[in-house]
Each structure stands twice: as C-alpha cells, then as structure tokens.
Amino acid sequence: MELTDTQKAILDGEGGRAPQKAMALIVRYAGVLGAERLCRVTWADLFCGAHHYLDVAVSDDFDRIFSTMALCTTQAARLEKMNRGCICYSGVEVDCTELPGHMLAGPNRQVQNLAMLRRFVDAGVVLSGTCVPYLLGFIPVAGEHFVSCESSAVLFLNSLWGACGNGDGIEASFCAAVCGYTPLWGLHLPENRRATHLVAVRSRPESVHDWDVLGHALGRQLPPMAVPVLTGDFARPDAIRLKAFFASLACTAGTEICHLEGITPEAGSIDQALGGNPEQGRIIVSDRDTAESVDGLNGNPRGPIDYISLGCPHYHIDELRRIAAFLDGRRIHPDTVVHVWTAGPFKYMADRCGYTETIENAGARVLTGSCPSTRGYPSGVRTAAYDSAKQRLSAAQETDAQLYYGSLDQCLQTAISGTWEGH
C-alpha cells in the first residue's frame, strides 16, 4: 500500500480512535482487493438507524454498537464527526412512527431509532431517509468518488452522472465516511468502467413499468460483473424511468454501471463506451424476454390482495401526482391495505399540492423514511402486490405471503377492486 502522510497520520491515531479504526479496515479491505492506493471520498450514502441486524451487537450503547458493527472492532470508539471532507446522507431509516395494526415496529424500537439518528446528526449526517438520495441533493459529479450501500443508487450515480463508486456495503461505507478514504479499485478506476457487452434492446420500452421489466430481463442474461452498453430504437428515458430500470437491474445482476448509447456521459457512442476494448459478448432483449420476466415475477393470475406496497425506489413527486389523479374520487377496498412510499421532501411537496390528502382520502397511506424491507409487513398479510421488480424479489425473502407483480395502474386498479385480475 502506498499511503500518503495524511493517511498514515489517520492510521496512527492522530485524528482519534474512530477514524483510526475506520482507516485500519479500509487498508485491510484495500489489501484484499489488491488496491495499491486509496482515493478521497467526497460523498457517502449511509444506512443509519436502529435496523434489526444491529440487534446481534446485544448492546444499548451507541458507540459500542457502531464500533462493533460499522468499524468492525471490539474496542469501543466514540463517533464524534464524520470526515469533514465528505458529505454524508443517511439512506433508508427505520421510520417507526406508529400505525396501529399496520407495522411491526414497536415503541422501544422507535425510541432506540430516534436516539441513534440524533447521534448521526451530531456527527454530521443529513437524514435524507430515502433510497433515492440522488434526487434530493446527493450529487457527486462526474469523476467524484462516492460510497453507497444502496444498489440502485450505485448504478444511477455511476451510469447517469459519471460519478465513481462501488457497491461496497454497509461497513465499508461507514468506514470511508469516517476516515474519508476508500480503496482505489473497481469503478473508481476509468479502465474498469468501460463496456464489456453490447445489448440490443428490441422490446421498445416506453412506460416506467416497461423499464422496470427491462432491467429484470437484462439482468437475467448478464454475466457476473458485466458492464453493458444499451442500444436500440426506444424512446429516450427520463430519470424516473431510469430509476426503476437501475433498481431492477441491480437486484437481478451484479451490475454496478450501465451505459446507454447517446444518453449516459461515458457512452456518446458505442466506441466511446467500449474505450477501445473488444466486446466480450452480445445480448438481445426481446419482447419474449420481457414477457418471461413478467411471468416469472407474477405467477399468480388472479386472487384477493391484502396488501399493496408502492414506491420502490421511493416515488418522485410526479409519481405521487399520478397516483392522486387515479384515486381522486375513488375508495380503496376495505380489505386491502395500500402503502405509498416516498422521501420526506417529496411528501412535503405532495402535501402542499394536495396529492397526499387525495391519496389518503381514498384510503391509502403515504409514508416516508423506510419500506417493508426495513420496517416490516402488516400483520396477517397472505397476499401482497408490487409495481417494483426489486421489491417483489426482496419480498420473497421476507414474507411467506403469495406475491403479485404488475404495473402501477394494475396495482391501483387492484387497490380499488381488492382483487388481482392478472396481466
């Protein structure tokens, strides 16, 4: 390892015990990866809050929990400040505001969560409480180095903005935020960002749902850690469509960057995306491939629905507007619980625009700061529906309920009737 004098000083403990332990882990991590140097991290997307996985620390002491679970050391190190050169956002938090009869989080978890979040705020973390920080001010520009443990955010930032980061995970992200450095490896290096596979998209995606399905269909065909570049006769997608596409692609393949010819900054052309390297393979995504993805995600053609979760990744204000327009003057079926997930700032906009009132007057709930994967499912759920391939795949690991998948319109129509009618 080639460490600078500043990095050596942190490793020697001149900046305090927490940065020292964080730097020690980053150096060990770099050694495992074969990285010879570290790079400066300027943005960190962190997984703060009293998440259930922290229970294995068997402690109520914040610094002991943080030292054990984030810094990976048995020596308690008090977290004073995140590195001042790094702008830190907190990702999806355990938003434990009680919804009687709806959620699994109890009052003890709520108290613990609020106390932990306060410590993170004191350390300099912005509580964004969302899996879409890139739509709310988390903006590393092309060439800046970031860390994040949110797979869809990693894809979005690398692909659409040309920022540089890997899907390092929770511990490496925290340590990078505390000491300010991460291994110069993977997608932090220009040569590893070049396309490896050409993808011809023949399915002509248009809607958000089409792009969500495309991500799943492509991910099923990609080799591990491939870097695809997409080309095809499809309408230019916006950020909302790409948000859905990157989320489903991230959870289906090991992909952390995806180029789109003429759209993403490192793919003005196929040649630019390849960077002079020969292609390693070609992939075609057809209508048959996308149909197979839908069939695989939704093997249940008809049935009553107990629970519908919408907003993975968290909804943009325009998606909330669309839901409000659909539900205006209608009522959710009394046997169906509908949760609409978004980020706090978007809910603030929706409140001001009247969208929240319209949605909740129809019988749904607009929620922030979390999702079923971190907050839990309503009791007694036997059937659940989603408009997100990512959440549908995650739910299979989290609940024994029968699962359905379809477009937003299908989910909203089901919310009104209480019955899934198939696709």
Q: Which helix (H) or strand (E) holds 385?
A: strand 383-386
131 and 47 share a domain?
Answer: yes
Residue range of the domain that includes 162: 5-189
42 and 94 share a domain?
Answer: yes
Strands 197-201 and 228-232: parallel
211 and 103 share a domain?
Answer: no
179 and 231 share a domain?
Answer: no
85 and 215 share a domain?
Answer: no
Q: Distance between CA 84 and CA 390 in Å, rounded?
A: 34
269 and 123 share a domain?
Answer: no
221 and 353 share a domain?
Answer: no
- Among residues 209, 200, 251, which one has the least CA distance to residue 229? 200
173 and 262 share a domain?
Answer: no
CATH code, 117? 3.30.499
Looking at the DSSP bridge assignments, the partners of residue 90 are 46
Half-sphere exposure of 44 (CA within 13 A, CB side): 31
278 and 329 share a domain?
Answer: no
Residue-by-residue pLDDT tens, the chain, 423 positions: 899 999 999 999 999 999 999 999 999 999 999 999 999 999 999 999 998 899 999 999 999 999 999 999 998 899 999 999 999 999 988 875 545 444 455 667 788 888 999 999 999 999 999 999 999 999 999 999 999 989 999 999 999 999 999 998 899 999 999 999 999 999 999 999 999 999 999 999 999 999 999 999 999 999 988 999 999 999 999 999 999 999 999 999 989 999 999 999 999 999 999 999 999 999 999 999 999 999 999 977 789 999 999 999 999 999 999 999 999 999 999 999 999 999 999 999 999 999 999 999 999 999 998 888 887 777 789 999 999 999 999 999 888 899 999 999 999 999 999 999 876
**What are the residue ranges of helices labelled H in 268-398?**
270-274, 287-297, 317-327, 344-353, 355-361, 372-375, 389-395
36 and 74 share a domain?
Answer: yes
CATH code, 401? 3.30.499.10
Helix, strand, coil tally for the chain in percent (to 5): 40, 15, 40
Q: Which of 250, 271, 295 is the last residue of a domain?
A: 295
pTM: 0.95
182 and 201 share a domain?
Answer: no
**What are the residue ranges of helices labelled H in 35-106?**
62-69
Q: Which of 280, 295, 310 is the last residue of a domain?
A: 295
- Among residues 48, 214, 228, 233, which one has the least CA distance to residue 155? 228
Q: Which of 231, 261, 295 is the last residue of a domain?
A: 295
Find all residues with CB under 8 Å of 173, minimum gap 6, and list them: 44, 45, 46, 47, 147, 148, 149
303: its two tokens? 């049935």
Count of residues in the chain: 423
Number of structural domains found in the chain = 3
48 and 102 share a domain?
Answer: yes
